[in-house]
Structure 1
């Protein structure tokens, strides 16, 4: 049985955010960048059995419009958006699961607004500045952005996957990135390459601030992500914070590929790592505020 989904829009400085809420109980936010709310819907449906689940389109992506389409989307800016959403719902503090660029959003949120956060699971944050080869990563990222802005979207994606160390068989690559894009999909891709990719990968977290709240932070890594860019960055961040990385099913988008397995693992991690008052994560337990 599918849960009821309430979709609304919240005006924030410089943007109008599309967000969705389902379920009842302690608040969980599932956040991506550039992934939008639709990518998290299957996982959100499962979690909503005993939690209030917030999903949203990040500013400039899909249904979240921006006043200035040439302004960058930074982790700090997206964290401020998320803080306003949590305040607007009046259901916090929240457990925040952020993936990829959304992991940067979640980390920036707990740095700036720790009072709004019960726990953060930063799943594969792409923080290239933590790597020894950061200069090369930055140069490669600038090159793939320039390639996309010059009109070669397919070439840009090839360069992106090469740096990510993700191999796709050619038929799969062509299916995903070849040919014509839907106008909305192309607009989202262009915004991400032009205004979100570099600010997200070059963002430098405040490690001292994160160490101060490390008991509330887990760094997630996909079991199938070994050797990939985000495996390297996630392990670098975990080492810098003095914590062990936490394994999750699948790869970079394991929550999309197998939401049921991901739901089970997420509940296990939160029950083991973040005891009360961080929420009732046993699916057989009575939801508590």
Structure 2
């Protein structure tokens, strides 16, 4: 556990070598990145963690009004605890937004960032549609609870949240799915509005050491579109990684090799 202002962060460390911080987003749980972390631990000191207010990272103060910046500050505390050398970052979905903010504010702490399928809706031609979807999801959350709101978002984005754990699953998987279900509430209550309006700082990031990437199986999807939009916003090309939006979980060995190539290029 690492004490930070307003929270205690649960984190896990695997391997040795240059530090690689893995940053997931949404209501996901870092156990989803464990297979990837195990493979990469042969080359890196891999850190996975629960964001404040999620899974095993309890709050000691209420969420602030700027969640992207708050999570970026937490990630910086983790990097500082790991040592003074610049670190590699692998950040996916909303984790990529946090990583953009971290890199823009503290570029000396980042060796290279691979930002995988960042959901920057504001750069899309139909951005107004996604603003309305966010507003409807938050309204449904207030009226009906997290489950109906998450189902709406899954239908609109094509990324449905996993269902409740069924009988016969391994204990670690049941625990992870239980945590993911509980994470929907803080995600909707404290993050969704700010995250859905986030824009990366193009002036700060245009020359930064970062790679924008999408899943090979995601071409034509919403998150492929946002990835291409972010790449254009930052004046670079998007690269392809194995699998889909959670390729790091479904194809960890192939994903690890491709990610290492991006980080070491």
TM-score (norm 2): 0.88
CA–CA distance in 2 between the matches of 1:235 and 1:117? 23
Q: 2:20 aligns with which of 21, 25, 28?
A: 28
Larger radius of gyration: 1
Cα displacement (A) at 1:29: 0.7
Deviates more, 1:262-271 or 1:54-63: 262-271
Q: 1:210 aligns with which of 205, 208, 216?
A: 205
Three-state SS of the structure 2 residue aligned to 1:150 is: helix
CA–CA distance in 2 between the matches of 1:258 and 1:102? 19
Judging changes above 3 Å, is the alpha-carbon distance between structure 1 residues 177 and 232 closer, same or farther for their aligned structure 2 residues? Answer: farther
CA–CA distance in 2 between the matches of 1:160 and 1:72? 23
Judging changes above 3 Å, is the alpha-carbon distance between structure 1 residues 230 and 73 closer, same or farther for their aligned structure 2 residues? Answer: farther
Q: 1:199 aligns with which of 178, 182, 194?
A: 194
CA–CA distance in 1 between the matches of 2:131 and 2:216? 26
Deviations 1:180-201 (A, max 9, x none): x987444311111111222222
For the pair 1:12 / 2:7, whether they are aligned, the reply is no
Judging changes above 3 Å, is the alpha-carbon distance between structure 1 residues 184 and 69 closer, same or farther for their aligned structure 2 residues? Answer: farther
Match of 1:220 in 2: 213
CA–CA distance in 2 between the matches of 1:50 and 1:206? 31
Q: How many residues align?
A: 255
CA–CA distance in 2 between the matches of 1:129 and 1:29? 26
CA–CA distance in 2 between the matches of 1:122 and 1:42? 19
Match of 1:158 in 2: 151
Is the CA contact 1:26–1:91 (under 8 Å) kept in the aligned structure 2? no
TM-score (norm 1): 0.81
Q: CA RMSD in A?
A: 2.2
Cα displacement (A) at 1:38: 1.2
Judging changes above 3 Å, is the alpha-carbon distance between structure 1 residues 81 and 264 closer, same or farther for their aligned structure 2 residues? Answer: same
Is the CA contact 1:219–1:246 (under 8 Å) kept in the aligned structure 2? yes
Is the CA contact 1:154–1:178 (under 8 Å) kept in the aligned structure 2? no
Judging changes above 3 Å, is the alpha-carbon distance between structure 1 residues 71 and 106 closer, same or farther for their aligned structure 2 residues? Answer: same
Cα displacement (A) at 1:224: 1.4
Cα displacement (A) at 1:69: 4.4
For the pair 1:176 / 2:163, whether they are aligned, the reply is yes
**Structure 2 unmatched ranges of 5 or more:** 167-173
Is the CA contact 1:40–1:255 (under 8 Å) kept in the aligned structure 2? yes
For the pair 1:75 / 2:68, whether they are aligned, the reply is yes
